[in-house]
Amino acid sequence: MTQNVTFDDLKTVTDYEEEHFTEATRIPMWDPEVDDVLVCRQVRQETHDVKTFLFSAREPRVFRFYPGQHMTFELPVEGMIMRSYTISASAARPYRVEITVKRVPGGPGSNWLLDNMLPGKEVNVTGPAGEFTTDATQEEKLLFISAGSGITPMMSMTRTACDLAEPTDLHFIHAARTPADIIFRHELELLAAQNPAFKLSFTCSTTSGYNSWSGFEGRLSLQMLSLMSPDFKDRKILCCGPARFMEGVQNMLQESGFDMANYHEESFDFGAETAGTFEDQIAAPEISDQTYRVTFTKTGHVVECGPGMTILSAAREAGILPMASCQRGICGTCKSQLVSGETDMQHGGGIRKREIDQGKILICCTTPMSDIEVDL
């Protein structure tokens, strides 16, 4: 008789280890507060412009993450830049993490990774973090809709659900430019063949030259969606892709009368956020009705910061342009030193507790609660 490991077991892996491993064989958990170096172990070419990078810690570690969460990488480009990438691996395989990265023309992070990251190289990271996740083994009926490299969080959720062999009723729709651009195509087709409750559909913008293509062709439309997933209105929908793609999906669902309370989305393009995502990710900052003075000690600028205004907005008003990427408290790019004063920070995992203890703040999601000084 076999017994399946459930999603909940992921959360209690420490308890499991306590019971089943001796002191000599126990592998410590990856602790985001302490551990911050990953070593690249393998690089896989997925499509002509997409690679998967497999990492583990220097010393053996067990990673605990929820499918859909991301890690933020410090990359040595133009000094140093921070980039967040969703973990594409199954959360049920906790000894490694993988990210899958598509080359973005002119994108410094993706180009550096695809051209330079090799087995044996080390990289500093923070995380895992992020709220875009679902317990795919518990939801009754799910529909994933993704486009391009927005497939990565859905892939982690799908791999996890299939690894745990839970009877999830899951439809997965993915849009790509051509059949050759479909990331993870063969693995997804295999999972669909092996799991009766997993239904898979692809649509490609163009299929000319691909004579054996039997999937859909053209942009995802309401008519196409109804053919792919006739009961889509009964499902919880998770969507990830370029901002314009998600906007199109939202409009289409609204037009169909879909209950948008069951719609959730994640943009993998932090530079092109859609309205509402910020609130989905982190709690709104505590809003004081007072105005406080923010002094930027390096430049000497002083700005009056009104109710609800973040320190990043105040800096921009002063003509200072600090580095910032996600603007959601996730990536850590805007990390700065608070010199004095009280603040309220509502971050999404882009900063460690020990950094907070040292007076660091993420200025994109921090509002002043007194007159403050910031080292900018």
Site residues for ligand FES per CB under 6 A: 324-327, 329-334, 350, 362, 364
Nearer to ligand FES, 170 or 314 (CB): 314
Nearer to ligand FES, 173 or 334 (CB): 334
Burial class of 235 by CB neighbour count within 10 A (0 to 12, 13 to 18, 19+) = buried
| Listed residue (34, 44, 99) closest to 70, CA to CA | 99
Which bin fits 120, alpha (ψ -120 to 50), beta or left (φ > 0)?
left
Please, what is the minimum distance in Å from the beta carbon of residue 121 to ligand FES?
Answer: 24
Burial class of 268 by CB neighbour count within 10 A (0 to 12, 13 to 18, 19+) = buried
Which residues, in sequence order, are bridge partners of residue 328?
none
For residue 264, give Cα distances in angstroms to 75, 143, 209, 237, 290.
30, 11, 35, 6, 34
Amino acid at 351: I
Nearer to ligand FES, 188 or 351 (CB): 351
Nearer to ligand FES, 40 or 81 (CB): 81
Torsion (CA) 31, 34, 37, 41 in degrees, nearest 10: -30
User: Which long-range contacts link 57-60 to residues 24+ away (Cβ below 8 Å)?
Assistant: 57/30, 58/122, 59/28, 60/27, 60/28, 60/95
Go through 81-91 and write b for each residue having 16 or more CB atoms within 10 A of its CB, e for each that does not: bbbbbbbbbbb
Please, what is the minimum distance in Å from the beta carbon of residue 114 to ligand FES?
Answer: 22
Please, what is the minimum distance in Å from the beta carbon of residue 328 to ligand FES?
Answer: 6
Nearer to ligand FES, 204 or 334 (CB): 334
Please, what is the minimum distance in Å from the beta carbon of residue 284 to ligand FES?
Answer: 16
Please, what is the minimum distance in Å from the beta carbon of residue 308 to ligand FES?
Answer: 16
Please, what is the minimum distance in Å from the beta carbon of residue 334 to ligand FES?
Answer: 3
Please, what is the minimum distance in Å from the beta carbon of residue 359 to ligand FES?
Answer: 16
Please, what is the minimum distance in Å from the beta carbon of residue 329 to ligand FES?
Answer: 5
Nearer to ligand FES, 176 or 362 (CB): 362
Nearer to ligand FES, 204 or 312 (CB): 312
| Listed residue (342, 234, 215, 347) closest to 282, CA to CA | 347
Please, what is the minimum distance in Å from the beta carbon of residue 143 to ligand FES?
Answer: 29
Token output for 331: 């990536």
**Which spans in the chain are helix H?**
7-11, 13-20, 108-116, 151-164, 185-194, 222-228, 243-256, 277-281, 311-317, 353-357
Nearer to ligand FES, 160 or 327 (CB): 327
CA distance 336 to 364: 10
Nearer to ligand FES, 210 or 278 (CB): 278
The secondary structure of 255-300 as a DSSP string is HHT--GGGEEEE-S-GGGPPTTHHHHHSPPPPPPSS-EEEEETTT-
Nearer to ligand FES, 313 or 333 (CB): 333
Please, what is the minimum distance in Å from the beta carbon of residue 98 to ligand FES?
Answer: 22
